[in-house]
Chains A and B, each alone.
Chain A
Amino acid sequence: MNTPPITVSVATIEGMHLARLVDDFMDLLRDSEGGDPGVARLTPNAYPDDDEASAAFASATRADLLDRRLHDARVMRTALQVFDPDAEVTDEGARVPRDVVVRREDVDAWLRTLTAIRLVIATRLGITDDEPDVGGDGQAVYDWLGYRLELLIEAVDESDADALR
């Protein structure tokens, strides 16, 4: 069975922001020695009541888990390669919509990466509520990523349902 890819339309400026966020996320993963609380959130404690089991689980899984985050991020960044985060754009150019093609086999990588970036941002902003009100650019980015993620999930769920018909 061959399910068609998902096409997402984003404004040029959005695509540039997404590309920048993914780049920053990959830098964070590469540089992290485990001290970053955002990265720590991506590798949760599987045994909060058992220090020994917790340490064993972490040493067996942590590095692989972060490697897979990096791999997912690369997959997403590749699909965004038409966007140069450092390019100069006019206001008009920023609004030009572009189609981004998400291949079916890449959908999970996209969903996991968008989620992981939101988790890192939420950790930094100290978001502890379903309806956060911390304000500022940080929350604007967080909310926008949530909106983008929600749209992608809707599109994928719909396409899954179509495939079953």
Chain B
Amino acid sequence: MSTALPEIDEATDLSAAPLEPWEVVVWNDPVNLMSYVVRVFRTYFGYTREHATRLMLAVHHDGHAIVATGPRETMEVHAQAMHDYGLWATVRKAA
């Protein structure tokens, strides 16, 4: 016996939908000034001065920092904006 109505698949759990997060990574470079990097993080992402400074120091000391996480398309927009500011940004799937 068949039915025209779709059966509800009990295994379907919307909360488990593949919302794979992506991230924007900014890498250290010898050229960009610390004050400039803080300003970019602060004005572009709207981060507080404290948070922006922490991220800048992470870039400086650890060589890189994850500055944003979210859908791939959004991360590509952010990476482009970072490139506009002369920062060395890459996009990757969050680990």
Contact = CB atoms under 8 A, between A and B. Distances in A.
Contact of B30 (A65, A127, A150): A127
A129 interface: yes
Contact of A153 (B39, B79, B83): B39
User: Which of B32, B84, B85, B88 has the largest number of chain A CB atoms within 10 A?
Assistant: B84
User: Which of A44, A49, A57, A150 has the largest number of chain B CB atoms within 10 A?
Assistant: A44
A135 interface: no
A115 B32 contact: yes
A28 to B, nearest CB: 15
A149 B91 CA distance: 28
- Dominant secondary structure of chain B at its interface with chain A: mixed
Nearest to B86: A115
Interface in B74-95: 76, 79-80, 83-86, 88-92
B14 interface: no
Contacts, number: 68
Interface stretch (A3-11, A90-98, A116-124): A116-124
Contact of A111 (B36, B83, B90): B36
A112 B84 contact: yes
A84 to B, nearest CB: 28
Contacts of B92: 47, 49
* Number of chain B interface residues as a range: 20 to 34
A115 B83 contact: no
A19 B56 CA distance: 31
B1 interface: no
B85 A112 contact: yes
Interface of A: 42-49, 53, 57, 61, 65, 68-69, 108, 111-112, 115-116, 118-119, 122, 127-130, 132, 146, 149-150, 153-154, 156-157
Closest 8 CB pairs of A and B: A115-B86, A122-B31, A153-B35, A46-B79, A44-B88, A130-B30, A46-B91, A61-B80
